Chains A and B, each alone.
Chain A
Amino acid sequence: MTEIPEHLLKRAQAARDKAASQAAPAESAAPAAEAAPAGGGDSRIPAHLLERSRAAKSKRDGGAEAPAAAAAPAAAAAAGGGAVAAPGIPLAAGPGGHTQRLLTVVKSGSIQDVKSKPQDKVHTWPHLLIIEFVAALFILAFTTIFSVFVNAPLLELADVNKTPNPSKAPWYFLGLQELLTMFHPMVAGVTIPGMGIFLLILAPYVDKNPSNKPEDRKFAISLMTVHLMFWAVLVMIGSFFRGPGFNFVLPWRDGLFFEL
């Protein structure tokens, strides 16, 4: 049998004493019962809301029995319940009118795994939400202002018989188009990007190193950097260094052959 910790026993005893001392005067003196809930009773309900509901009630009742109506239900319950139940049993003792009893004490760790160290946490509101809101506003402002000054391209109507020179894919596929100059289309267009995606998906299952500290995972970081740089460099070359016939050009000498 689990021992009940001393502080819980103390708390239960204190609650019992408080309930007993409240039940006794409630039956004799009504004004005392009225004062109790208004003063130190349920602190969760803000004062202005209590005021509002009391005003609404008194308006409904014609204002005649305003003080009686305002008297807490606790008093009524105590008076009504006292007749049937044995005195001393706390009625409507809890904040929501519940009667709570200590049934058992479950030691931490027996059912739930309680973390040994409590984490350092902050409230999402305001700390995180404000950052997110500002970030969203910033990106919205950036997109809007950029769109005011830079127009999206709209070239002449599509014509199947007029192939522009060079014909380029969207920028994020220009790495693939660059590969097309070196490999067979199946390798450049399907195999290599397919492998790239597949390796990305496999990353968490291949990388068994549990640490997330940069100094512990130099190999993983270098590999990923090489991978990302591979695509970034190919996209750059495809975007800026390829001109008519998809031949190599220098943008500062031959101009830019690139549309977003």
Chain B
Amino acid sequence: MAKTMQGSPAQRAQEALTNLNNNVQGSQAWSSIFRPGSIFRKGYSDSPRNRSYVIMNSVLYHLHPVKVKRHAVKVSYTLCLGGLSFFLFILLTVTGIFLMFFYRPTAVNAWTDIYTLQTSVTFGLLVRNMHRWGAHLMVLSVFLHMARVFYHGAYKPPREFNWVIGVILLVLTLLLSFTGYLLPWDQLALWAVTVGTNMMGYTPVLGGQVRYVLLGGAEIGTDTLLRWYVLHVLFFPFIIVIFMAIHFWRVRKDGGISGPL
């Protein structure tokens, strides 16, 4: 007791802080959360070993290898387009979940819910704007990512199949955006979707059925709204996440990003 009272206040504070730190980092809870070798368990100082541990002992290891080719970190090579598409997807998921709290997919409620969201919900207008602009941006970044990959010849063996998955992801992105387009249930949404689905109705042989299934009836109505809502918030996100997982996994398995030109 007498020992702890010695020293200046600054020293004692320092000691208390060290004790607290040791108790937290030495606790079972802490060591159960962070894996052996995690930088949160053993502290970080800049060394090649610790640089490896940052990736190797964290969930990031699912996305990135410990080391990447030097040219892969040049921004001018990838322009970050694939990563940004993924980040925009996350941003759209977060903002989309927020919007779901205030939205009912029926012809009676949909438009009013969006209007109320914009006028009476805190940050409602901002989050809706972010969701909409983010969606347009994602279509754009996925498209540009595809162009970038083509011009670098990155679809060549062994990456052929990952290119195919990429094209599927582009189509899924368009479908996600298109199904979301109807949900505000305003004149813009209704007629844009009318134009779009009329085109699909001309699919050979199955045209009529395809259109009927998509609209949940002969004309766009409250059933269409429910159908497209489920497609937009559950079905397509589910599918696209599966394809994204395969896409990212293949990037690593096929030898990281393609070589320099």
Chain A interface (Cβ < 8 Å from any Cβ of B) = 44, 46, 48-49, 52, 55-56, 119-129, 131-132, 135-136, 139-140, 143-144, 146-148, 150-160, 162-164, 167-173, 176-177, 180, 184-186, 188-190, 197, 200-201, 203-205, 207, 209-214, 217, 220-221, 224, 228, 259-260
Contact = CB atoms under 8 A, between A and B. Distances in A.
Given A125-B55, A214-B151, A158 B164 contact: no
B132 A122 contact: no
Contacts of B171: 197
Residue from B65, B111, B178, B186 with most neighbouring chain A CB atoms (10 Å): B186
Contacts of A52: 22, 26
A210 B155 CA distance: 10
A173 B196 contact: yes
B179 to A, nearest CB: 11
Contact of A143 (B45, B137, B190): B137
B35 interface: no
A147 B68 contact: no
A201 B195 contact: no
Residue from B66, B67, B146 with most neighbouring chain A CB atoms (10 Å): B67
Contacts of B150: 203, 224
Contacts of B130: 143-144, 147
B185 to A, nearest CB: 5
Interface of A is mostly: helix
Contacts, number: 219
Contact of B203 (A136, A170, A171, A190): A190
B12 interface: no
B70 A121 contact: yes
B187 A204 contact: no
B104 interface: no
B115 interface: yes
Given A129-B60, A140-B91, A204 B159 contact: yes
Nearest to A217: B153
A163 B191 CA distance: 7
